[in-house]
Amino acid sequence: MNIKKMLQTIDQISFAYKSAFLLFIIMGGMISIIVLSQLSNYIIKNDFELLFEKRTKSIIKLETIKDIYIVNIKDTLQDIYHNDISQKQAKEVILLAKQLIKKEWSNYLNIISSKDYHTSFINNFIKKNFIANEQIPNTLLQKRIIENIKRRKNKIDTLLNKIFNQLKNNYKNTSTLLDEINYEIDSITIYLTNLTNYDLNLAIQEKRDTDKEIRILSLILNASIVLVFVFSALLSFLIISNFKKLHFALKGDILEKTEALQRLNKSLELRIKKEVANTKKKELIMFQQARLASMGEMIANIAHQWRQPLGSIMIIVQGLQAKMELGKLSPDILKEKVEDALLLGENMSDTLENFQNFFRPTTAKESFLLKECIEHSFRLSKYILDKHHIQIRIKVSDKIRLHSYYNELSHVFLNIISNAEDALATVSGEKFIEIIAKELKEKIYIYIVDSGGGIKEEILPHIFEPYFTTKYKSSGTGLGLYMSQQIIEKHIGGTIRCKNVCYTIGDKKFKHCTLFTIIIPNKKSEQHVN
C-alpha cells in the first residue's frame, strides 16, 4: 500500500521535474560509482602498498641487523679466538659491523615512526565505521622489545670492549666473555625475530583489513548500481506514461481544433484579420521591450561613464568649500576650479551624444592626435589621481595621428584609468600609470601599465565579460571593460588584451603590474591632416 501511494505521489510530479530528477539520479549515480571505483582502485591499493612497503623495509632492516650480529660479530670473535684472523682485522670487521648496526637500527626506528606511511583518512574512516573487531596493534609490546634490544645492544658493545682488552693479555681468560657475548647475541637475535614476527603479523592483519575494505566498497558500489538502475527504470516508466497521456491529450486537442476550424471556416477572413491585429500587437510589445532593454543598457553604460566625472566634481566642490572655510579661496582658484567643473560637465554632456552615436553605425570618423586624446582622458580623472598621489607617465609621440573615433577611444582610456585608480587606491608604495604608444606597419600599439598589484589569474579571463565586476554594486556595474572591448573590436576594428607582468622603470622593478595592450589599425589612406 505504501508503495502504491509513493508511486501515485511520484506520478503527480510535473514532467519537467521528473526528467530533471532522472538526469540527476543517472549523473549522480555515475559520479558516485566512478568515485567509489577510484577509491577501490587507487586509495585503498595505495594505502596497502605503503603499509606493505613499511613492513617489508622494517623486516629487511631487522634481518640485516641479525645477520651482522651473527656473521660479522659472533663468527669474527670465534675466528680471533682460534687465531684465524688477527686482532687488527677483527677490530676493523667489528667496528664496521657496529657502524652498520647503528645505521640499520636508526633506519628501522625512522621507518616505524615515519609519517610517510600513514594511511589516508578514507581508509581510517572505513576501518573505524565498517570493520568490526578491528585488531589494534600492540604498540606496548613493540616498545618493550625495542627497549630490550637497546639494552642488549649496549651490553654487547661493553662486552666487546672487555674482550679486546683481555685479548691483549691472555687469550684463555676470554672464553667466559665469549660465552657471555654469544648468549647476548643469541638473545638479541631472538628479540629481533620477535620484532620481525610482530611486523609480519601486522602486515597479515593489514592485508585482511584491506580485503575487507575492498569487499565493503564493492558492496556499496553494487548497491549504488542497483539503486541507480531501479530509480532510472521507475522514472523512465513514469515518463513514458506521461508521454502516452500527452499523446492522447494532444490527439483530443487536435480533434477539437479540427472541429473548431470547420465551424469557423465560413468566417475565415474575419479570423485572419483578428490574428493579424493580434500579431501586430505582439510585435509592437516585443519592439517596445527590445527598445526598453536597449535604453536600459545605454543608461547603465552612461551611468558608468558619469561615475568618474561626478566623483571629480564632488572633489572640486569639497575643495572649494574647504578653501572657503580656511579663507584661502581666491578668484584665480575659483576660476580654475569652475573651468575644471565645466570641462567635466561638458564631458558628461558629450557622453550622452557619444553613447547615442555608439549605437549608430553612421558615426563619422575624425583625425586627431593620439597624445591629445590620452591627455584628455587623464584630465577628466586628474582630481582622483591627485587624491591618491598617482604618478602619470605618457610616452607618446606628438606625430602619431589617428583617423578614428575620438570620444569612444577617450572612453576606453577613461575606463582603464578608472580601474587602475581603484586598484592603486588600495596599495602602498610607488603608484603610477604609464602609457606608451608605437606605430608599426599601419597599426598603432598602445600599452597601458599600472602598479596596482595585478589581477588575480582566476578572474583574468573574465574581465571583458558583461556585468563581471569584483567591486561592490554601488561602485561598479561590470560594463566598463566590456564596453571598451566592444568599442575597440567592433567599432574601431582593433584588439584589446590584458595580462599581468613584471615592469621595470630605471633600476626599480615592480613585480605585480597590469598591462593592457590595444592594437588599432591606422591605414595611411584614411588619415587626413588638419
What are 56-83's pLDDT values in tens digits? 777 888 888 888 888 788 888 777 777 7
Taking the C-alpha atoms of residue 268 and residue 365, their distance in angstroms, rounded to an integer, is 55
pLDDT tens for 189-219 read 888 888 888 878 877 777 777 777 777 777 7
Least confident segment among 336-345, 353-362, 495-504: 353-362
**What percentage of the chain exceeds 90 in pLDDT?**
10
Of 195, 35, 54, the residue nearest 119 (C-alpha): 54
Percentage helix, strand, coil for the chain under 3-state DSSP, each rounded to 5: 70, 10, 20
Locate 149 and state its grid cell: 634490544
Which amino acid is residue 231, in one-letter code?
F
Rounded Cα distance between 329 and 334, Å, is: 7
pTM over 0.75: no
In this structure, the number of other CB atoms found within 10 A of the CB of residue 109 comes to 14
pLDDT tens digits, one per residue of 3-33: 666 556 656 666 566 666 666 667 776 777 6
| Distance, CA of 187 to CA of 208 (rounded, Å) | 32
Average pLDDT of the chain to the nearest whole number: 76
Q: Per the structure block, which three cell numbers stand in for 344?
A: 567635466
H or E stretch at 271: helix 268-326
